[in-house]
Homo-oligomer: A and B are copies of this chain.
């Protein structure tokens, strides 16, 4: 059997599972701590999830929103990486079982994030697209472009419409952003690429079960997002949910049906726990109950941070929102606490979330921003969105490449990465 071959040292070992916003921030912040830091991830790169939708809609190339862990952290002396899938924790033995063998830990930090939540609807899970990984984004991009290539080949109106119409379920940031980006493709790119098609036939449906878009944001943000999308031609269905989808016919809760070969499911996420923990620490939505120090309930040396962690307090009865900011802040706080934990000192600092606000973009010059002291929309909101996302990317290289892509798209109205790249058949 393989062995993970982690070099032994005299220092305590912190194993971090998952290199998303939380995991990456934690590993970086542990650089000077007297410990060995082992990061495990099933990808060899960090993914900047907020921009996956731009890869899926041909706006950005893959490489500019991902960053190799070994490039980001290779020079950090206490850093060890293993490219592996984690299978199981054995808390009583302080080991974690992975596809590359057992790894022992002194402290374990789970930062495995979230997965798409289908609420048990297997048919939708099987037939729909999701947008959580680079592979998801590439797969959706290939699919959209192949649909249009295929739409050229048929004189059957219904079949053609099923290829040209898109159904997006979930009116959160992902749903809103994908709908907006598709509307831009419809207006500026596809009329040149597919001049043989009548783009009036293309419909983009956005389905949201609640009565408003961007549920986590202010009324004005929701209203403006709706207004922008409708102006861009997106058909927004509020207060409606999806009952079934067989890969062709979408049945809605109001009895209506839509025909489409593409349904993007962005209607929910669930925590992605690792097997082996006591069952009562895992909530029905898959998140793991943690105390104010991000320690998993009932364990001394196991922590959870980011989307996975559900810290139930008076202010946060359902835990923190499953977005980047709490993940990064929890990682920083935990890294500070590790200074004391490694010295076996008590008096840890409880996590305190500083809400920096939220934002979503709908398209060119159109975004909505909610800050605690001001809410604004339109051009300046869009500039703020661009600035914040550029700064949040990992590495100067990716910032420059994304910036140049955006500048070029801004002036050309184009989205350049219209590639169908299929896996090589082995």
Point out residues on A near B: beta carbons under 8 Å.
2-5, 7, 43-45, 61-64, 66, 68, 70-71, 74-75, 80, 82-83, 100-101, 134-136, 138-139, 145-146, 149, 152-155, 192-196, 397, 400-401, 404, 408, 414, 416-424, 426
A116 to B: closest C-beta gap in Å: 13
- Structural contact, A68 and B423, CB atoms closer than 8 A: no
* Pairwise interchain contact B423-A423, C-beta atoms closer than 8 A: yes
Shortest 4 CB-CB contacts between residues of A and residues of B: A423-B423, A61-B63, A135-B424, A70-B193
A153 touches B62 (CB 8 A): no
Whether A149 lies near B44 (C-beta < 8 A) is yes
Q: Is the CB of A74 within 8 A of B192?
A: yes
Q: How far is the CA of A149 from the CA of B100 in the complex (A)?
A: 10
Whether the Cβ atoms of A44 and B420 lie closer than 8 Å is yes
Instruction: Collect the chain B residues with CB atoms within 8 Å of residue A62's CB.
Output: 61-63, 419, 421
Shortest beta-carbon distance from A16 to chain B in Å? 17
A79 to chain B, nearest CB (A): 9
Asked if A196 and B7 make an inter-chain contact with CB atoms under 8 angstroms apart, the answer reads: yes
- B68 contacts A419, C-beta separation under 8 Å: yes
CB of B414 within 8 A of CB of A404, answer no
In chain B, what residue has the closest Cβ to A58? B68
Residues of B within 8 A of A420 (CB): 43-45, 83
> Is the Cβ of B408 less than 8 Å from the Cβ of A5?
no
With A152-B5, A153-B101 as given contacts, are A145 and B44 in contact (CB-CB < 8 Å)? Answer: yes
Bound Cα distance from A135 to B80, whole angstroms = 30
Contact of A419 among B63, B400, B414 (CB under 8 A): B63
Residue of B nearest to A195 (CB): B74
Q: Which residues of B contact A74 (CB under 8 A)?
A: 192-193, 195
Q: Which residue of B lies closest to A155 (CB)?
A: B5
Q: Which of B80, B404, B418 contacts A68 (CB 8 A)?
A: B418
Q: In the complex, A194→B233 CA distance in Å? A: 51
Report the minimum CB–CB distance from A8 to chain B (whole Å): 12
Q: Are A5 and B154 in contact (CB-based, < 8 A)?
A: yes
* A and B contact pairs by CB, cutoff 8 A, 18 listed: A3-B153, A44-B145, A44-B420, A61-B61, A62-B62, A62-B421, A63-B419, A68-B416, A70-B193, A70-B194, A74-B195, A75-B192, A83-B149, A136-B424, A138-B424, A397-B408, A400-B404, A401-B401
Q: Which of B75, B153, B404 interacts with A100 by CB under 8 Å?
A: B153
With A62-B62, A63-B419 given, can you name 11 additional A-B contacts, CB distance below 8 Å? A3-B153, A44-B149, A45-B419, A62-B63, A70-B194, A74-B193, A75-B192, A82-B152, A135-B424, A138-B424, A139-B424
Cα distance A7–B196 in the bound complex, in angstroms: 8
Cβ–Cβ contact A421 & B83, under 8 A: no
Most-contacted residue by chain B among A74, A139, A154 (CB, 10 A): A74
Across-interface contacts of A193 in B (CB, < 8 A): 68, 70-71, 74
